[in-house]
Amino acid sequence: MKIGAAALVALQIAIRLGAQPPDHALTKLRGLHLPEVPGRMPLIYSPAAEQQALRLQKALQAAHGWYQKRLHLRLPLTLAVLDGETFAKVTSIPMPFSYANPGLVLLPSSLEDMTSLRPPGVDFALTSEAVAFHEAGHIFANSLRIDGGGFVNELVANIFMAAYIRAARPDLQFLLRGPFATAMKPRYTSGADLVYLRAGVGVDNYFWFQSRLHVLADFCLKSGSFASIIERTQLAFPGGRQYMLPIGDTIARLDDLFPGFRARAGELGGPSTIRPITPAACQPQSTTGQDPGQQVMVLRNNTPDPLVLTDSDGDTAQVKPGFWARFDVTSGAPVRLPDGTCLVVRDEPGLAIIEKLQPTQR
């Protein structure tokens, strides 16, 4: 395991940029020589998804124009609608995605194929349109430099979606009642889990989170006009943060913005449900002759100093004070802290919250 080259997420900005720059995603798309439809919102699509793509382009163009008019903001946007095989060639993210600068919304041609959830009365073709509105919301929020971390950024994208649905798409209001949230018993339930693991919670669990956030976004819209809510959120969660808010502080700030939010959020505002891991004496990794595989370790540094982590190969990574980071580590392998203790993740993601180091060993 090379911790220095691991999948490190030290800051989630308002748009989910993934592991590659947006121009690279567009370059990849155009390198596939797919059909394109020019216009004020260019469309790139897989040939087998043509009819679905044209329908989504029409729906997203309308929402995009509505956002621009309400916010007095003009943003270029490209839409890509791809079959599963082509989607995987462009991004490793297993769900709809968006890129900023330039704006790109990347949608699967069949949203239904991505989840096993089948809530009664849910039309997946219509749901794909709502997802497009959500992804465009990420791009607008990024342009406005709204950045409260993953939980807030997903909520804000859903506020965009819910506002447009309320204004222009009554046929999609069923989503604002949270049907996906009642279709499963989730493994992860805290907003902190969504921040730390993102798609790593699993696709179905991710749908559960988004469905809960649809309901909360609709609740937020009761506190004023869409434009005023976005302006207030922009002031409360400005970009360029010098630290990362814990979920409790995030919920408190949202409750100030939208009175009653904390009660509505329920378990989403609770502590992380990721398996906790604590520093302990370092032990050699057990060897069985089998590849132990990779696992996710999340570390939040609540100490006043940077934390330097060292893996068994001697590779290092640093987490700044007040920040968290996510690493891909070897399952069962010790990761050493500066005080000589170690963290070990085994058969599922682990979360270490470091409040202080052993003072006698620093």
CA–CA separation, 312 vs 309, rounded Å? Answer: 10
- Taking phi over 0 as left and psi of -120 to 50 as alpha, with beta for the rest, 357 belongs to beta
Task: Compute the average pLDDT of residues 270-289.
Answer: 88
Q: Residue 164: is its pLDDT beyond 50?
A: yes
The Cα 153–Cα 233 span in angstroms is 10
Mean pLDDT of the chain: 89
CA distance 360 to 362: 6
Helix, strand counts (H, E) of the chain: 10, 13
Asked whether residue 320 carries a pLDDT value surpassing 50, the answer given is yes
* Section 210-225 average pLDDT: 97
Kindly report whether the peptide bond that precedes residue 170 is cis, defined as omega within 30 degrees of 0.
no
Q: What is the DSSP string of 3-36?
A: GGGS---S---SS--TTS-HHHHHHHHHHTT--E
Question: pLDDT at residue 16 above 60?
Answer: no
The pLDDT of residue 116 is above 70? yes
Residue 7 pLDDT grade (very low, low, confident, very high; cuts 50, 70, 90)? very low
Q: Which of 24-38, 218-232, 257-271 has the lowest mean pLDDT?
A: 24-38
Helix (H) or strand (E) holding 330: strand 324-330
Closest CA to 131 of 74, 205, 207: 207
Helix, strand, coil percent content, the chain, rounded in steps of 5: 45, 15, 40
pLDDT of 361 reads 46
pLDDT of residue 28: 87
Residue percentage of the chain with pLDDT more than 70: 90
Q: What angle do CA 54, 57, 60 make, to 5 degrees?
A: 150
pTM value is 0.90
In this model, does residue 20 exceed pLDDT 90? no
SS3 state at 224 = coil
For residues 352 and 324, give the distance between their C-alpha atoms in angstroms, rounded to a whole number.
10
Lowest mean pLDDT among 58-67, 103-112, 245-254, 351-360: 351-360
Kindly indicate the confidence band of residue 11, based on its pLDDT and cuts at 50, 70 and 90. Answer: very low
Q: Could you give the domains of the chain?
A: 11-269 (1.10.390.10), 275-354 (2.60.40.780)
Q: Which of 64-73, 98-107, 169-178, 253-262 has the lowest mean pLDDT?
A: 98-107
Q: Compute the average pLDDT of residues 73-77.
A: 95
Radius of gyration of the chain from Cα atoms? 21
Among 8, 27, 29, 130, which residue's Cα sits nearest to residue 80?
29
CA distance 149 to 15: 10
CB 331 within 8 A of CB 295: yes
What average pLDDT score do residues 141-167 get? 95
Asked whether 317 and 4 are in contact (CB, 8 A), the reply is yes
Buried b (16+ CB within 10 A) or exposed e, 27-58: eebeeeebeeeeeebbbbbbeebeebbeebbe
Indicate whether 25 pLDDT > 50: yes
CA angle (273 as vertex; 268, 279 as ends), nearest 5: 140
Residue with token string 């819910």: 162
Amino acid at residue number 134: H
> Mean per-residue pLDDT for 237-247?
80
User: What pLDDT was estimated at residue 5?
Assistant: 35
Average pLDDT rounded to a whole number, residues 227-247: 88
- What SS3 state is found at 318? strand
pLDDT at residue 18 is higher than 60: no
Q: Give me the mean pLDDT over the 166-182 stretch.
A: 97
Q: What is the C-alpha to C-alpha distance for residues 265 and 346, in angstroms, rounded to an integer? A: 31
SS3 210: helix
pLDDT (0 to 100) of residue 12: 30
Cβ-based neighbours of 259, under 8 Å, separated by 6 or more:
223
Q: Which of 205, 177, 170, 206 is nearest to 97 (CA)?
A: 206
